[in-house]
Amino acid sequence: MENRKIPLAGVIGCPIAHSKSPQIHGHWLRTLGISGHYIPMDVTPEDLENVIRTLPRAGFVGVNVTIPHKERVLEIADICTDRATLIGAANTLIFRKDSKILADNTDGYGFMKNLEMAESGWQPGSGPAALFGAGGAARAVVAALLHAGVPEIMISNRTRVRAEALQSEFGKRITVFDWVQAGNMLDTAKLVVNTTSLGMIGKPPLRVPLDGLRKGTLVTDLVYAPLKTKLLQTAEEMGCSTVDGLGMLLHQAVPGFERWFGERPEVDSATRAAALR
């Protein structure tokens, strides 16, 4: 009998029950006919390092990492990609054959790929972007947009100092607006992104006045529950193009899956359906 190890991967968070990653990776494993498994793991911050160091010995080829561990894993990893270092957080760990742990951040890749696939007409160089929020996800989005050539990013965050921290780190292409003036960013924006958790099921609504939105502006929301947020609904009614946040979640999962299981999966309507099940 063949004695081949079945590759294991998973997602580590605390809590983890809400994660859609097991559905996404499970769907790809099934449709590609790969004999591997992807497991959700609820791990406390106290146990994180021990668990990560034990997993390779138990047959794991890597894991995704989510809240609240995304920053901490950079200290545990032996090697960090440039983008993970720049963002200051990782969402993907690869357990290499040489026993080294590599940390990567694929959120920015997922964000850009989602826009490219859903809205092929949008050119990053076409004009300024406006961002609501300055948390962890915003850092990945800012790094990706600057890398893609967006000329200016206007940021407004409830806690202004967090937006200013992004400005001092990412440089003079960033401008900061007070949270009460967030609506003023919209008149010149070619792209509008909500990176806050506002508008998500169970969270308060995004109350930024949207009357400054212009027809034809591309509007996207990182929140994907609900799929069509109030922001996207209003933007659509005002003649904007809209892209929901589920695609980002699907695309950010692709590089990890490919590294762990050796095949690059497709993000298609069946993947979306699997994530929504």
Give least dist CB 132 to ligand NAP, A: 8
What residue number has its CB nearest to ligand NAP?
Answer: 135
| Nearest partner of 43 among 71, 9, 12, 70, judged by Cα | 12
Q: Which value, to the nearest 10 degrees, does the dihedral of the CA atoms of residues 184, 109, 25, 51 take?
A: -100
The verdict on 29 binding ligand NAP (CB under 6 A) reads no
Q: Give the range of 134-142, 146-154, 185-193, 228-236 binding ligand NAP by CB under 6 A.
A: 134-142
Catalytic one among 5, 20, 70, 203? 70
How many whole angstroms separate alpha carbon 2 and alpha carbon 22? 27
CA neighbours closer than 13 Å in the CB half-sphere of residue 180: 0
Both tokens assigned to 275: 């994530």
Task: Look up 70 and say whether it is catalytic.
Answer: yes
In terms of residues, how long is the chain?
277
Residue from 12, 102, 134, 191 in contact with ligand NAP (CB under 6 A): 134
Q: Does 137 bind ligand NAP (CB under 6 A)?
A: yes
Task: Name the H helices within 215-245.
Answer: 230-237
- Judged by CB, which is closer to ligand NAP: 78, or 258? 258
Least separation in angstroms between residue 142's CB and ligand NAP is 11
Interaction between residue 198 and ligand NAP (CB under 6 A): yes
> Could you say which of 249, 254, 274, 275 contacts ligand NAP (CB under 6 A)?
249
Nearest to 93 by CA among 115, 76, 68, 117: 76
Residue with tokens 């050796």, as numbered in its chain: 262
Q: For the CB of residue 222, give the shortest distance to ligand NAP in the complex, in Å.
A: 4
* Between 111 and 261, CB nearer to ligand NAP: 111
Nearest Cα to Cα of residue 231 among 206, 195, 203, 196: 206
* Residue numbers at the binding site for ligand NAP (CB under 6 A): 107, 110, 133-138, 157-159, 162, 195-198, 200, 204, 222-224, 245, 248-249, 252
